[in-house]
Amino acid sequence: MTIAKVVLAYSGGLDTSVIIPWLKENYGCEVIAFAADVGQGEELAPLREKALQSGASKIYIEDLRHEFVTEYIFPMLKAGAIYEGKYLLGTSIARPVIAKKQVEIAEKEGADAVAHGCTGKGNDQVRFELTFRSLNPKLKVIAPWREWSIRSRQDAIDYAAKKGIPVPVTKEKPYSMDSNLWHISYEGGVLEDPWQPPDEEMFRLTVAPEKAPDAPEEITIEFEQGIPVAVNGQSYSPVALIEHLNQLGGKHGIGRIDIVENRLVGMKSRGVYETPGGTILYLAHRELEYLTLERDTLHFKAHLSQKYAELVYYGQWFSPLREALDAFVDKTQERVTGTVRLKLWKGHCLPVGRKSPYSLYRQDLATFEEDSVYNQKDAEGFIKLFGLPQQVWHMVKKD
């Protein structure tokens, strides 16, 4: 198949910087760069000039921050999705919103193909390509890391130098970084040894917990149907709310995660993540669910939360199962409305208060003092019937 025009997901980093001239050399095609603003900030400033100098015919820089938060992050937050108990899915959840816009640009430009800079060892190749296949399977997908002779980041650095392309990576500091509004991730370099701690100077969003303020800071977060809407009584737009919580959490050293995770492609990898605002939101949201969801729904939702996390991690955002789970989650969130008070201190985020107009906590039922609602004698019959199967099993076992 002849490729005349390709849209490249472009970050300006090492991999995508060298892909532009490589595509032109090997496919003889026009290359249109596409950069998504998902909250990486100042990284976007030099991209337009850099992409054009690298050989792109044009570049799109699209502000997707509001869509990213409202249509991807907030549904994931409401679902309580955390991969393998630690990872808040910052890189994973950004890929479908980026790939979706890339498909739209390819269709607008009449492109034959889309391309990405994901390696053949990583998860992101799956996330991008499942989105491409879901939204427009007619587009050819070009994944240079699965085709070219470059076999390492060192080779890519040398290729960039040969082509006169500046990249923000050196042989002395070769770890990979990915940032967006929700988090920053770090991989490679010293992190490839799970025994070695990350370099402190690597972190961008958080101070070291031991260097955080000695005095704790209390904050409140208000939710409406599972969605955060205010901090300390002040309303914020979705994007501004996360930015504000990133600042608060980062100041107190909250949100650092160091995990050896199971990649979809079968290997274990070590990743270090900073998610200060997200860590605060997940904890606050969970505390409010403890107060407002009845027992069976809360326990069942925990099982689905794990599955939801896997769908996000595996790149299956546009799957019918994820859409079906959203319907369940949205139903559970109808009364997850209220306020949570938290204490931020030295890397810790501690819940110290919660209230809701839909609270299922009844002091007259839970009190240790005298009450006229709960007849404690009723518990005797309940225990006998509840334990009957277990009792019979042991009786038979002894016989």
- Whether 176 is a known active-site residue: answer yes
Domain end (from 152, 174, 196): 174
| Percent of the chain with pLDDT strictly greater than 90 | 82
Q: What is the distance between the alpha carbons of residues 325 and 304, in angstroms, rounded to a whole number?
A: 8
Task: Please give the residue that has the higher pLDDT: either 190 or 96.
Answer: 96
152 domain residue, yes or no? yes
Residue 217 clears pLDDT 70, i.e. is over it:
yes
Q: Are 21 and 64 in the same domain? A: yes
Q: How confident is the model over 120-142, as pLDDT tens digits?
A: 999 999 999 999 999 999 999 99
Mean pLDDT of 341-346: 98
- Whether 354 is a known active-site residue: answer no
From the list 96, 342, 48, 90, the residue with the least C-alpha distance to 222 is 342
Q: How confident is the model over 146-194, as pLDDT tens digits?
A: 999 888 778 888 888 888 877 766 556 657 889 999 999 999 888 999 9
Known binding-site residue numbers for L-citrulline: 87, 92, 123, 127, 176, 185, 261, 273
Query: Can you give the residue range of the structural domain that contains 130?
Result: 5-85+93-174
Q: Are 24 and 37 in the same domain? A: yes
| Catalytic residue selected from 54, 65, 112, 176 | 176
For the ranges 12-21, 46-55, 104-113, 359-368, the lowest mean pLDDT is seen at 359-368
Q: What is the distance between the alpha carbons of residues 175 and 4, in angstroms, rounded to a whole number?
A: 34
Instruction: Tell me how many domains the chain contains.
Output: 2
Q: Are 167 and 197 in the same domain? A: no
The three-class DSSP label of residue 33 is strand
Q: Are 105 and 229 in the same domain? A: no
Residue 364 clears pLDDT 60, i.e. is over it:
yes
Mean pLDDT of 233-238: 98
CATH code for the domain in which residue 161 is found: 3.40.50.620
Taking all residues of the chain, what is their mean pLDDT, rounded to a whole number? 94
Are 125 and 116 in contact, with CB atoms under 8 Å apart?
Answer: yes
Known binding-site residue numbers for ATP: 9-17, 36, 117
Task: Please give the residue that has the higher pLDDT: either 247 or 43.
Answer: 247
CATH code for the domain in which residue 277 is found: 3.90.1260.10
| Catalytic residue selected from 65, 95, 256, 322 | 95
Q: Can you give the C-alpha Rg of the chain in angstroms?
A: 25
Tokens of 25: 């050399």
For the chain, how many helices (H) and strands (E)?
14, 14
Q: Are 196 and 68 in the same domain? A: no
The pLDDT value recorded for residue 134 is 98
Are 174 and 152 in contact, with CB atoms under 8 Å apart?
Answer: no
Q: Are 220 and 170 in the same domain? A: no
Residue 368 clears pLDDT 70, i.e. is over it:
no
Tokens of 318: 């546009």
Residue 33 clears pLDDT 80, i.e. is over it:
yes
| Catalytic residue selected from 37, 54, 65, 124 | 124
Mean pLDDT of 258-263: 97
- Whether 399 is a known active-site residue: answer no
Q: Are 23 and 109 in the same domain? A: yes
Q: Are 184 and 133 in the same domain? A: no
- Whether 258 is a known active-site residue: answer no
Known binding-site residue numbers: 9-17, 36, 87, 92, 117, 119, 123-124, 127, 176, 185, 261, 273
The pLDDT value recorded for residue 388 is 95
From the list 281, 242, 235, 221, the residue with the least C-alpha distance to 68 is 242
363 domain residue, yes or no? no
Task: Please give the residue that has the higher pLDDT: either 242 or 46.
Answer: 242
Return the number of other C-beta atoms located less than 10 Å from residue 15's C-beta: 21
373 domain residue, yes or no? no
Known binding-site residue numbers for L-aspartate: 119, 123-124
Widest distance between CA atoms in the chain: 84
**pTM for this predicted structure:** 0.94
